[in-house]
Copies of this chain bind each other. A is one copy, B any other.
Amino acid sequence: MSSAIDFARQHQSRFLEELKALLRIPSVSTDPAHKADVRHAAEVLAAELKRIGLENVRLIETDTPAHPGGHPLVYADHLHAPGKPTALLYGHYDVQPPDPLDEWLSPAFEPTERNGNLYARGAVDDKGQMYMHVKALESLLVANNGQLPLNVRVLLEGEEEVGGEGIATYVASKPADLAADFALVSDTEMFAPGLPTLCVGLRGMIYTEIEVRGAKTDLHSGMYGGAAPNPFVALAQIIARLKDESGRILIPGLYDKIIPPSPEELAAWQSLPFDEEHYRLTEVGSSTLVGEPGYSVLEHTWARPTLDVHGIMGGFTGVGAKTVIPAKATAKVSIRLVPAMTPTETFAQLSSYVQSILPPGVEAQVRLIHSGDPCLIPVDNPYVRAATAALHEVWAKETVFIRSGGSIPIVGDFARNLNLPSVMMGFGLPDDNLHAPNEKFLISNFYLGIESIIRFLELVGA
């Protein structure tokens, strides 16, 4: 056992108390009333990084169109291991709003231990996971007389829950300041309790608006119903031709570029402890699951593109009845992408297909709101191998490689701007209530996560 792990085990209760202090700061990034709290959390972290021995510790101000005068980044480094790889450790210190408050069994910003869990907003997303990095670094520095087995840069953000534009802008504009060999991101989950997990794939996305216009102005449905085009009906007809009732997307060419998972990856997914019926009942709660015929739920959500409608704007949505034929209707439509689909090509396919299926009497405009590339981390690089070995030592189990159906945009930014592979080693659990009341983090996962990261960094630097 490494002396760093020894140190970490001896200081578990102090580490936990420090995390609790951090969780008491209500760093809700979306709420202007908490702006000072968000900065306070950044300052506390900067002070702690300095105390444990990191250098060049500073706050980096952000200022983007989405968030002018935004929340700061926290940067620190320790670059005294010549010839060794450089790790970029990423996490975020902002949290989701705690609403609805009355569903919390203990106050959202008063961390409370129950049944081996620590309950608080941000416990697992991402203060608890981010703080594992800090405490792993402290343990390594103390155990190695102020040295680290590799070079380290730390970059923490305070706007992850509001879009992350500040860090994206910084990463794109200062690649030299972040030169590294790989990134470590602990903002994901284990597939099941006790099952060490690396996330090696993320879906990309295009998020669009499809606006359909009929008459030049709103019309009365009594006077004009039957003669004037109805943009809501036309939009429904368009959407119904984007995806059939079996879940298959009907946009020509959309499936052409997909690289399916390897037979080995599929076989590994089939051996995961996953019960579709349990998932349907406890997580989705619908009468049946949907999705393209011939694929499992994990393939549907990890390895297949999907199309969703998030809302439809326009017309009358108040209480009661208003007999209007609206001049326009606009749907928010997203498509999740898998390798090797690209946002550019998918958007072009969607746009031209919509124009080709327009019902009579309407015009349509398809607008791109934002997009992100899908990503797939090669599992045969030394960092993934080191992570796998470290997890095996600490958890005494084989690591499972999973994907996520969602996106972590910073992983794409690291790949695109810094040419870094990301090791997504997370210790959350599927029932941790992210973004919901009673968010929690299993305390033993906090401790074992610190040990896993210590061993990972030691093995990379060995």
Contacts and interface: CB of A to CB of B under 8 A. Distances in A.
Interface in A220-249: 220-230, 232-233, 235-243, 245-247
Interface in A401-449: 404-407
A88 to B, nearest CB: 24
A299 B219 CA distance: 18
B227 A291 contact: yes
A222 B245 contact: no
A82 interface: no
A236 B240 contact: yes
A215 interface: yes
Interface in A310-340: 310-317, 320-326, 329, 331-332, 334, 336
A348 interface: no
Interface string A198-231: 0000010101000000111101111111111110
Contacts of A225: 301, 306-308, 334, 336, 405
B308 A230 contact: yes
A314 B315 CA distance: 13
A203 to B, nearest CB: 6
Contacts of A325: 308, 310
Interface stretch (A71-79, A112-120, A258-266, A355-363): A355-363
A369 interface: yes
A229 B287 CA distance: 9
A266 to B, nearest CB: 16
B300 A221 contact: no
A290 interface: yes
Contacts of A207: 321, 323
Contacts of A227: 279, 284, 289-291, 297, 300-301
A304 interface: yes
Contact of A237 (B203, B245, B324): B245
A320 B359 contact: no
B224 A288 contact: no
A286 interface: yes
A370 interface: yes
A304 B316 CA distance: 24
Given A220-B406, A362-B286, A304 B226 contact: yes
A285 interface: yes
Contacts of A179: none
Interface of A: 203, 205, 207, 214-217, 219-230, 232-233, 235-243, 245-247, 279, 283-292, 297, 300-301, 304, 306-317, 320-326, 329, 331-332, 334, 336, 359-363, 369-370, 404-407
A310 B323 CA distance: 7
**A-B CB proximity, top 5 nearest:** A222-B406, A216-B285, A311-B315, A240-B240, A236-B239
A312 B317 contact: yes
B284 A222 contact: no
Given A221-B334, A233-B307, A323-B334, 16 more contacts: A221-B308, A224-B284, A224-B405, A225-B306, A225-B334, A226-B405, A227-B301, A230-B309, A232-B309, A232-B310, A236-B240, A237-B245, A246-B360, A290-B359, A290-B361, A322-B332
Contacts of A229: 286, 288-290
Nearest to A300: B226
Contact of A287 (B286, B289, B329, B361): B361
A215 to B, nearest CB: 5
A226 B287 contact: no
Residue of A236, A320, A360 with most chain B CB atoms under a 10 A cut-off: A236
A405 B313 CA distance: 26
Given A290-B227, A301-B224, A369-B321, A308 B233 contact: yes
A308 to B, nearest CB: 5
A108 B317 CA distance: 28
Contacts of A214: 286
Given A216-B285, A245-B359, A326-B311, A406 B223 contact: yes
Nearest to A285: B216
A45 to B, nearest CB: 27
A370 B233 CA distance: 21
A309 B245 contact: no
A297 B230 CA distance: 15
A233 B329 CA distance: 15
